[in-house]
Structure formats: C-alpha cells, structure tokens
Amino acid sequence: MPHSVWVSTQLNRPVIEAFNNILAYSLGELSPPEGSPSRLGIAVAGDNVSSKQLVMDVVNEVGFDPVDAGSLYESWRQEPGTPAHCCDYDAETTRKGLAAAVKGEAPKKVERFIDLYR
C-alpha cells in the first residue's frame, strides 16, 4: 500500500501527495519563475480532481512545474527508491521517472541502502 494511501486511511480523509520527490535545498533554492527552462517538476498524485488541481496550482505558484502523477494508488511511483524521487528533474524527465518505476522494487532498494549504512 502506498504511504499516502495508508495516511489517507488512517486520517479517514482524502490526501493529495506532493512535494515528496524534492529535497529541502531544492525546494528552498531552486524555484525560478514560470516559463523558465530550469524549473523542476513536482509530482502530484491524488483522487479528487479539484483538490489535485488546487495543489498543482500551488506547486506552480511556488516555482515548480506540476506533474500529474495519477491517482493516490499510483503515488508509489514517487516514493523513496523510485526513479523520480529526489532527482531535481524537469517536468518531462519527472514524467519519464514516474513511468519507469517498477512496482515492488523501491522498498528493496531502500532496504539495501539502509543495510549499507548500518
């Protein structure tokens, strides 16, 4: 179960997942104006169309290109260990990273990473 689906279940509220595929430095320092070729893509996943659009508008307003990442159940594509997670990609490369994610592989990669630092 994707993390955001679990959170939504626990809260018994709809959730829109965004800003989890970017590092804090990039969030604070790499947000040029709309139309800039160096804007980073931010994946946005959720089930409620109007709520997701609101979040996508916020993503744009704070200096990033929103990338529709599908439903909340598809949000596993932007979790740690996936190709689009924390890579400072533009919108098109973020889309490619989301599409390249392989279900079930990310948790294995995260575990291997943790094992390396134990």
Tens digits of pLDDT across the chain (118 residues):
888 999 999 999 999 999 999 999 999 999 888 888 889 999 999 999 999 999 999 999 999 999 999 999 999 999 988 999 999 999 999 999 999 999 988 888 888 888 888 8
Say if residues 22 and 96 touch (Cβ distance below 8 Å).
no
Select from 3.30.2230.10, 3.40.50.300, 3.30.70.141, 3.40.50.720 the CATH code of 3-116. Answer: 3.40.50.720
**pTM of the predicted model as reported, rounded to 2 decimal places:** 0.88
Say if residues 2 and 66 touch (Cβ distance below 8 Å).
no
